[in-house]
Amino acid sequence: MIDLLTPFRSFLKYKSVCTDNNVFRLHYKITVIMLLMFTLMVTSKQFFGEPIHCMSNANEDNDKDAINNYCWIYGTYTLKSRFVGIEGKHMAYAGVGPSKTENDEQIKHTYYQWVCFVLLGQAVMFYIPHYLWKSWEGGRLKDLAENLSCPIATNVWTEERRCQLLAYFNDLNAYTHNMYALHFAFCELLNLLNVIGQIFLLDLFLGGSFRNYGTAVAAFTHSPRLPADMTDFVSVNPMDRYFPKLTKCWFRSYGPSGSIQLKDRLCVLPLNIINEKIFIILWFWLVVLAFMSTVAVLFRILVFCLPPLRSIMIMGRLKYVKRRSVSKIIKHFSFGDWFVLHLLSKNVNQIVYRDLILELSKDLEPKEVTV
């Protein structure tokens, strides 16, 4: 199982320059790694064996592989009427039993053919906002913060380097970072829209069962259940309802006389043992991630609208600096300039950053005119 983590070492590497925030990294790092791991798990036969195994009679061993392949390709089914009752009394297993009527509703199961592709596609979708931001950012912050993150930066933070950064903010690029900041805000919004869209996509993929899957499992787990001998009808575990481990499959063939023979087979789906766990983890993770992404987008709007909040965020990165000096910078520079300064605070030595803020504030003071 540890071998599954080997391809993800590049994702886990520490980056010397941070150009985003923790919520952003949850999308393109944690979520992408999680989805890729799930993809490898559902495609690794060495852990869970064959994805389907249909039972055959002793004299039909020659048709075993054909029936397995047929039922995997064309899907299996369970009966809706057999999801209520006691296993062994009202039905053989949850969803499995003889039809009560000719029009007994069947629940088709073909999603398991596409699980690995859906998970892989989700991983790509969660990585796209990071890819866009990485392209738009263009390594600007890396150039600004080069060699300034070490604890002892006295040899690097020279007068020449100080003048270069001051000139960058004062003369060369003042008021030119708004599009830079808007690109990041757009990627944050794209993260939010993507995670909400993924919830609806999975719900469509699973036939409308994903939206209530987590709450149904939680309610079933914590609800008191009477013993089987005290009630005639017992609710079925939602995991067994949505991800059945035992299903039925009709296999049609021709007999010796040329007439059509119908073979009703029970099929074991061992892969659903892992599918039910994957989708319950995804349900809770996507809900939490959607909530955190919503908070991040709302916070970005507040920061854009409230300059005092920007001052507070800068002050949180500094010590022994008067708020008046920081407020002067916030009033003078645009939102985009503040955004670059805020990102810079995450990537440079605190002493260097304090010195930069003080110098910027000093440059904004009115110059004395000598007569």
Counting other chains too, the contacts that 298-307 makes at CB distance below 8 Å and 24 or more residues apart are 300/185, 300/188, 303/335, 304/185, 304/335, 307/331
Split into its structural domains, the chain has a count of 1
Domain presence at residue 312: yes
The predicted model gives 219-238 an average pLDDT of: 61
pLDDT level of residue 124 (50, 70, 90 thresholds): very high
Could you tell me what percent of the chain has a pLDDT over 70?
Answer: 80
pLDDT level of residue 6 (50, 70, 90 thresholds): low
Listed ranges 117-131, 156-170, 258-272, 354-368; the one with the highest mean pLDDT? 117-131
pLDDT value for 230? 43
**pTM score above 0.75:** yes
Domain presence at residue 344: yes
Domain presence at residue 289: yes
The predicted model gives 342-363 an average pLDDT of: 86
Distance of CA 321 to the CA centre of its chain: 39
Q: Report the 3 state secondary structure along the chain.
A: CHHHHHHHHHHHCCCCCCCCCHHHHHHHHHHHHHHHHHHHHHHCHHHHCCCCEECCCHHHHHHHHHHHHHHHHHCEEEEHHHHECCECCCECECCECCCCCCCCCEEEECHHHCHHHHHHHHHHHHHHHHHHHHHHHCCHHHHHCCCCCCCCCCCCCCHHHHHHHHHHHHHHCCCCCHHHHHHHHHHHHHHHHHHHHHHHHHHHHCCCCCCCHHHHHHHHHHCCCCCHHHCCCCECCHHHHHCCCEEEEEEEEECCCCCEEEEEEEEECCCHHHHHHHHHHHHHHHHHHHHHHHHHHHHHHHHHHCHHHHHHHHHCCCCCCCHHHHHHHHHHCCHHHHHHHHHHHCCCCHHHHHHHHHHHHHHCCCCCCCC
Higher per-residue pLDDT: 56 or 299 = 299
Mean of all residue pLDDT scores within the chain = 81
Domain presence at residue 209: yes
Domain presence at residue 370: no
Which strands make up the sheet holding 246-254, listed edge to edge? 53-54, 260-268, 246-254, 76-79, 106-109
Lowest-confidence segment of 70-74, 188-192, 212-216 by average pLDDT: 70-74
pLDDT of residue 224 exceeding 60, the answer is no
pLDDT value for 327? 87
pLDDT value for 354? 87
Q: Which residues contact 296 (CB under 8 A, 6 or more apart)?
A: 21, 23, 24, 188, 191, 192
Write the CA distances from 117 to 35, 38, 39, integer angstroms.
11, 11, 8
Q: How far apart are CA 189 and CA 200, in angstroms?
A: 17
Domain presence at residue 340: yes
pLDDT of residue 57 exceeding 80, the answer is no
pLDDT level of residue 131 (50, 70, 90 thresholds): very high
pLDDT of residue 233 exceeding 50, the answer is no
Domain presence at residue 44: yes
Listed ranges 151-165, 215-229, 275-289; the one with the highest mean pLDDT? 275-289
Domain span at 228: 2-363
Domain presence at residue 368: no
What are the backbone angles phi and psi of residue 107, rounded to the nearest 5°? Answer: -105, 110
